[in-house]
């Protein structure tokens, strides 16, 4: 699993204007991304990287498929439409709510604890190109380099 996906699975997007949240790939409605909730539709959709705003900005939804929706795929499409049709777009920017804390704000402490418990840091990636706060990038660099942290210092007396 890529490091970007590992970060994204630790929270969810709160859609406001829908400009910066991907319709299929990001977790914004439900407990997993729509591509996992509706895999039969995701495999035949023409544009996989659309934003929520581009899809919900038109009625009917701005989604085109490579094949006609018949049978089971039509039923699944109706489920998807009923799931997203009540989403209201506003003028505010989308935000990301972290799932590691109760108040949904990012803290290095909770990120560190989560990373140490689950061992999710890949050995060959630092993640400098990620669009995440700098303090996350620096923490990941510390973890990758094995820089002495408080836990490591305590182990070594």
Q: Which distant-in-sequence residues (6+ apart) come within 8 Å of 105 by Cβ? A: 98
Question: Token digits for 80?
Answer: 């998807």
pLDDT at 2 over 80: no
Residue 37's H or E segment, with its range, is helix 34-37
* Residue whose tokens read 């890949």: 122
Question: Token digits for 147?
Answer: 């820089």
Closest CA to 10 of 130, 123, 145: 130
pLDDT at 37 over 90: yes
Classify 131 as helix, strand or coil. coil
Share of the chain above pLDDT 90, in %: 45
Beta-bridge partners for 115: none
pTM of the predicted protein model: 0.65
Other C-beta atoms lying within 10 Å of the C-beta of residue 115: 17
- The 10s digit of each residue's pLDDT in 108-121 is 666 666 666 655 55
- The 10s digit of each residue's pLDDT in 75-131 is 999 999 999 999 999 999 988 887 655 666 666 666 666 666 655 555 555 556 667
């Amino acid at each position: 699993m890529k490091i970007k996906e590992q970060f994204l699975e630790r929270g969810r997007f709160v859609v406001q204007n829908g400009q910066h949240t991907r319709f299929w790939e990001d977790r914004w409605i439900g407990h997993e991304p729509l591509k996992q909730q509706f895999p039969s539709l995701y495999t035949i959709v023409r544009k996989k990287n659309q934003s929520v705003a581009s899809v919900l900005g038109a009625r009917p939804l701005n989604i085109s498929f490579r094949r006609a929706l018949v049978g089971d795929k039509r039923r699944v499409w109706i489920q998807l439409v009923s799931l997203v049709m009540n989403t209201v777009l506003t003028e505010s920017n989308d935000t990301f709510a972290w799932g590691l804390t109760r108040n949904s704000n990012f803290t290095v402490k909770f990120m560190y604890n989560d990373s140490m418990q689950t061992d999710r840091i890949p050995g060959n990636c630092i993640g400098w190109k990620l669009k995440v706060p700098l303090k996350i990038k620096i923490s990941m660099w510390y973890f990758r380099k094995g820089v002495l942290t408080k836990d490591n210092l305590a182990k070594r007396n």
